[in-house]
Structures are given as C-alpha cells and as structure tokens.
Amino acid sequence: MKVLGIWIMCGGLFLAGCATPPAPVSHDGLHLVQDKGWDQLYVKPDIDIADYHAFALQPCTVAFRDNWMRSQNSGRNIGGQRVSERDMQEIQERLAAVCDEYFEKSLRQEPAYRLVAEGETPEAAQYDTQTQVLELKPAIIDLDIHAPDIDGATKVRSYTTSFGEMTLLLEAYDARSGEIVARIVDRKVDQDSMNHLQWTNRVTNMADAKRYMRSWTRSLRNHLDASR
C-alpha cells in the first residue's frame, strides 16, 4: 500500500499540538499513520496517491485564531491605532495569495504535475477512466500575528521576539466521488531562543509566513514524488 504521508487530525477535531493522544480512526473514517514530516497523519485505508494523475487546487482560505482582534486591541491605548476588520481582511487576502502561489509553484515545478485549468471542473478533467483527479483544499487556520503592521495616520514601530504562529489545514478529496482521502494539520510556531527583540513589520511578518509556506509545500512535493 502506498500512502501519501501528509495529513493530520487530532481526536476528530482540527487541532494541532493536542495534549491527549490522537484517535486511531477519525470521525470520518481516516486512519492515523505515523509520519515524522508532519504533526500527525490521517489517510483513507488502502489509498494509493499514485493512482491520481491530475490535481485540482482550490483557493486558499485564511482564518485568525478566536478573539485575535480583541486581544490585539486590548493592549492598545484608547484613541490609538487599533486593528480593524478591514485590517484583518487585508492580511487574510495577502496571506491567501502567497499560499496559492506557493502551492501552485510546488506542483508546477519540473517534472510538473497536471493541474486542472482555471474554470475547468475536476469532473471534466477526468476525460477517461484512467485519469483520477485529487482535489486539494489548503487553509491557514489559527493565525496569530503578534505585532501586525497596519496602516494608520501614525506609524508605530513594534518590537517582538517572534512573528507568532499559524497552522496549515490541507484536505484532499477524490474529485469523482467527493470522498475525503486525507487530511493534514501542521502547526508552525515562530520562536526566538535568544529572546532578542526585533523590529516587526509587514515585510518581516510576510517573510516568516513565506518560510512556513516553503516548508509545507516542499514536504507536499516530496511526498507526491515519493509516492511514484
């Protein structure tokens, strides 16, 4: 049995770094597989990723951790520059665009995998019984930026020891049946072991986010190649 080792769930919930051991079988029938490349791995039994000859990449979505804006604004002076819903939306859009870019680039690098064209449905791409399409749905969840660089009348410099954290949730579906094949959740936490304060801004925040994206998409590509 060939298995693409890139997928995770914890006790049936979309969580990473869980204190309790994960369930051996998820609520939707995926089985736990040990894999050092990711926090945890769940796959459909007897799945063979090599059977899939094309991929449909869905747009990435981004979600902040619960009460992130409230926590950010609680530490800011009344009348000072506060995080708004618009600020959150702009951050989500920028990060989603980077996520889309990195996932597409990882699949298109040589030797390239076939990607379903924009506007083409995964079902239409399955032009014969030999072609199976795997639909990938990436998402960034629990985004926690410690010092967001937001626009305002007064520019304020923020100094932190880390960017924050973010978690990748990636689900894969069989495009023909719509059945989930695998799921991954992998948490990245930025830590400065030397506790050195550094100026944190939009550029440094995005540089850290891109570093995580490179790690995730490199692992994805390595596992896809290894399955063949």
Residues 134, 61: Cα–Cα separation, whole Å: 18
190 pLDDT higher than 80? no
SS3 210: helix
Check residue 130 and give its pLDDT. 58
**Gap between the Cα atoms of 25 and 6, Å rounded:** 16
More confident residue, 22 or 98: 98
Query: What pLDDT digit, counting tens, does each position of 100-123 carry?
Result: 999 999 999 999 999 987 656 655
Cβ contacts of 24 within 8 Å, gap of 6 or more: 31, 32
Instruction: Quick: pLDDT tens for 33-92.
Output: 888 788 878 899 988 988 998 999 999 999 999 998 888 888 665 555 788 899 899 999
* Lowest mean pLDDT across 5-19, 43-57, 142-156: 5-19
State the Cα–Cα distance between residues 105 and 110, nearest whole angstrom.
Answer: 10
The predicted structure's pLDDT at residue 163: 64
Q: Is the pLDDT of residue 18 over 60?
A: no
pLDDT in tens, 121-142: 655 555 554 579 999 999 999 9
Output the pLDDT for position 119.
Answer: 59
pLDDT for res 185: 84
Strands (E), the chain: 31-32, 42-43, 54-57, 61-64, 114-115, 133-145, 158-160, 164-174, 180-189, 198-200
Q: What is the value of pTM for the model shown?
A: 0.79
Whether 158 has a pLDDT exceeding 90, the answer reads no
